Each structure stands twice: as structure tokens, then as C-alpha cells.
């Protein structure tokens, strides 16, 4: 049910006695049940209609139910965060992040304080059925994490099969929600595209990798690459991981990855672009930019090789001339 249905009911109606009736004359419990059927954007819009609807639209239980319907793993966040503002969580984690400035060089200080701890709420669905729901805590202040390539793994076991799928898990039927949270600031970030933006078959190993990447900084910037690796031989999910890569396909270190995540958390969100189509288009632009940079580097290396070959040939000819006239 969308906000249009609520707006259609807002004008006053008249009963047989000529008495006007508005939607706010309905019992509060009935209105609360109606509001719980709205999506997040419609619920926020209804809260702006009147003071009475605002009180119902900001009910914490309504937002908690909305968050649990979208991210079942949110139920396990309380022990990690102590307190969860579900309305703020939805506002942060439902839209895709805007393009944030590209992180500075590794030697430059970060613009935002680096999170000392990251909490990941990971939900994986296959054909609409939840097959993985987990909260992962990461110590982001350790020297090992800061110096190693940025990577967060959501699986603690080797792999698992879908409890509801009789056949192999199909990567095109997967949906991944990966929400990153900073317990210190309470900010959250949507780190996955929900629907796969690319599916790559590794013929050597027999694995299929579904990428749920979210691009932060356009063609020459950064992408949060949430990926699900499926082992087609054994029909199970082998890895669910998150890494950060630059426009050349190289992985970020933990420190630089945290800087990119912190900048994206502080950046505004893209309203009206929450569909997977927009995420796929941005990722395709990112891949095209990565391919163009790789081709440019290959041409540059070819030109340098040609120059070196020319210099070497000139030196060899000069040496032969010297021997001839000696």
C-alpha cells in the first residue's frame, strides 16, 4: 500500500447525517495497523500530513517492524549496539549512498574519524526465502585489520546449502542486504545492491560469483564489493564477503577502506534511486571506467616499450658505427 492510498482517503467524507469524517477519526489501533502496511518512504510522507498522523508514523514499534521485515538480522543488533533507533537506521540504510569524495592517498589523514568497530547486518535470500541472517562484529582498530586488505566475511563455516532449495542455488535468484553500522556514531550504510549487478563464472574452480557492488565514487573512485560465491559442484554457498576496491580493481587496505566507509556514512543519501537498476547502471559505468583505465595503461606501456626498443636499437646501431670506423 502506498502513500497515494492514504492521500486519497484524507479528504473529509460525509455520513447520512451530514457529519464530516476524516481518516484521523479512525481508532488509533486501526490506523497503526494500516500504517504498518506502508513502505518506509510512504510512512515518512504520511507523518508529514498532520500532527495526529505524525505521532503514529513515528511510532518506534512500526519502524522496528519495517526494519525486521527488510533485514531480519536487525533483531540481533541490540547486544552489539545497546540501543537501536530503527527509524534512523532505515533512513540511513535503505537508500543507496551518494557519491562521496574519493579517499585521499594512503599517506593522507582521513577526513572522517575511522570507526574502531564495525557491525554488519547480513541477510541473504534465495528465491525470496531467507537462507542466511547474521550479525558480524569486526574489530576495525587492530593493526592486523588496518594493515591487511579490507575484507569482512559473513560465514563462519565452510559453506551451506539452502534449506528450502532442492536443486543448486542459482546466483540470479539471490538477494543480498549488507548493512554496515558504526556503534560509536550510530550511522549506518547500505553496502550492497540487493540484486546482483554482475555474475561471473570461474571456469577453473567451478565457482560462480554474484557481485552486489555499490559504487561510491563514480568511474575513477571506489566500490563496496559485496559478493556471494556459490560452488556449483556441491550446490551450496561457499563465501559471503565484503571488500573495497578502487577503479583499477585493486583492493583497499583496512585503513583506506575504513576511510571510504566513514566518508560514505557521513555523506547524504540518494533519494528516489533505491532500485537495483540504478545500482547496476552505476556499476556498469564503474566497470567501463576500469576497463578504459586498463586499456590506457596497456597503450602507455606499449608506447614505453616501443621507446625503449627504439633507444636500444639506436644505441646498438651507434655501437656498430663506432666499430666500423675504428
pLDDT tens across 51-61, in order? 777 777 788 88
* DSSP tag of 201: E
pLDDT in tens, 246-299: 877 778 899 999 998 998 888 887 765 555 567 777 777 776 766 666 667 677
3-class secondary-structure state, position 135: strand
Cα 109 from Cα 103, distance rounded (Å): 10
Cell of 131: 537462507
Cα 257 from Cα 266, distance rounded (Å): 14
Q: What is the pLDDT along the chain (326 residues), one digit of tens a residue?
A: 444 444 434 444 444 555 566 666 677 777 777 777 777 777 777 777 777 777 777 888 888 888 888 899 998 887 777 788 888 899 888 888 775 544 444 444 446 788 999 999 999 998 888 888 999 999 999 999 999 999 999 987 666 665 555 456 778 889 999 999 999 888 999 999 888 888 888 877 778 899 998 888 654 578 899 999 988 676 688 889 999 988 777 788 999 999 989 988 888 877 655 555 677 777 777 767 666 666 676 777 777 888 888 888 778 777 777 777 76
Cα–Cα distances (Å) from 110 to 218, 256, 297, in that order, read 19, 8, 28
How do beta strands 13-14 and 20-21 pair?
A: antiparallel
The CB-based long-range contact list for 207-210 (8 Å cut-off, 24+ gap) reads 207/231, 207/232, 207/238, 208/171, 208/232, 209/171, 210/171, 210/172, 210/174, 210/176
Cα 141 from Cα 117, distance rounded (Å): 7
Question: What does the pLDDT read at residue 22?
Answer: 67
Cα 229 from Cα 248, distance rounded (Å): 22
Cell of 154: 559473513
Confirm if 243 and 250 have CB atoms less than 8 A apart.
Answer: no
Question: What does the pLDDT read at residue 222?
Answer: 82
- Please state the pTM of the whole predicted model: 0.75
| Torsion angles phi and psi, residue 313, rounded to 5 | -65, -40
Residue 212 CA, chain-centre distance (Å), reads 7
Question: What does the pLDDT read at residue 250?
Answer: 79
Confirm if 83 and 101 have CB atoms less than 8 A apart.
Answer: no
Q: Which residues, other chains included, contact 96 with Cβ-Cβ below 8 Å and sequence gap of 6+?
A: 190, 193, 214, 269, 270, 273, 274, 278, 279
Question: What does the pLDDT read at residue 182?
Answer: 92
Q: Which residues, other chains included, contact 157 with Cβ-Cβ below 8 Å and sequence gap of 6+?
A: none
Question: What does the pLDDT read at residue 163?
Answer: 58
Cell of 37: 502496511
| Torsion angles phi and psi, residue 52, rounded to 5 | -65, -45
Cα 80 from Cα 135, distance rounded (Å): 9
Cell of 224: 563496496
Closest CA relative to residue 40, chosen from 64, 66, 58: 66
Amino acid at each position: 500500500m502506498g502513500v497515494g492510498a492514504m492521500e486519497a482517503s484524507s479528504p473529509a467524507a460525509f455520513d447520512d447525517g451530514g457529519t464530516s469524517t476524516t481518516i484521523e477519526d479512525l481508532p488509533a489501533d486501526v490506523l497503526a495497523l494500516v500504517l504498518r502496511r506502508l513502505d518506509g518512504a510512504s510512512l515518512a510522507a504520511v507523518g508529514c500530513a498532520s500532527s495526529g498522523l505524525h505521532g503514529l508514523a513515528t511510532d518506534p514499534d512500526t519502524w522496528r517492524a519495517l526494519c525486521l521485515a527488510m533485514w531480519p538480522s536487525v533483531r540481533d543488533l541490540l547486544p552489539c549496539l545497546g540501543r537501536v533507533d530503527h527509524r534512523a537506521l532505515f533512513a540511513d540504510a535503505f537508500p543507496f549512498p551518494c557519491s562521496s569524495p574519493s579517499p585521499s592517498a594512503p599517506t593522507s589523514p582521513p577526513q572522517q574519524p575511522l570507526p574502531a568497530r564495525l557491525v554488519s547486518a547480513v541477510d541473504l535470500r534465495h528465491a525470496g526465502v531467507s537462507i542466511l541472517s547474521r550479525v558480524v562484529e569486526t574489530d576495525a582498530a587492530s593493526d592486523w585489520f588496518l594493515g591487511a586488505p579490507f575484507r569482512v566475511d559473513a560465514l563462519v563455516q565452510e559453506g551451506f546449502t539452502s534449506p528450502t532449495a532442492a536443486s543448486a542455488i542459482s546466483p540470479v535468484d539471490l538477494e543480498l542486504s549488507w548493512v554496515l553500522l558504526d556503534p560509536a556514531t550510530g550511522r549506518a550504510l547500505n553496502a550492497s545492491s540487493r540484486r546482483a549487478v554482475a555474475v561471473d563464472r570461474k571456469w577453473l574452480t567451478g565457482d560462480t560469483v554474484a557481485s552486489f557492488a555499490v559504487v561510491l565514487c563514480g568511474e575513477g573512485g571506489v566500490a563496496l564489493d559485496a559478493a556471494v560465491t556459490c560452488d556449483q559442484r556441491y550446490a551450496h554457498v561457499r563465501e559471503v564477503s565484503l571488500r573495497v576496491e578502487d577503479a583499477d580493481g585493486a583492493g583497499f587496505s583496512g585503513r583506506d577502506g575504513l576511510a571510504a566507509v566513514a566518508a560514505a556514512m557521513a555523506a547524504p543519501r540518494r533519494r528516489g534511486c533505491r532500485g537495483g537498476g540504478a545500482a547496476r547502471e552505476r556499476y556498469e559505468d564503474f566497470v567501463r571506467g576500469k576497463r578504459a583505465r586498463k586499456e590506457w595503461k596497456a597503450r602507455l606501456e606499449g608506447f614505453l616499450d616501443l621507446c625503449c626498443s627504439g633507444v636500444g636499437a639506436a644505441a646498438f646501431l651507434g655501437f656498430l658505427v663506432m666499430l666500423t670506423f675504428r
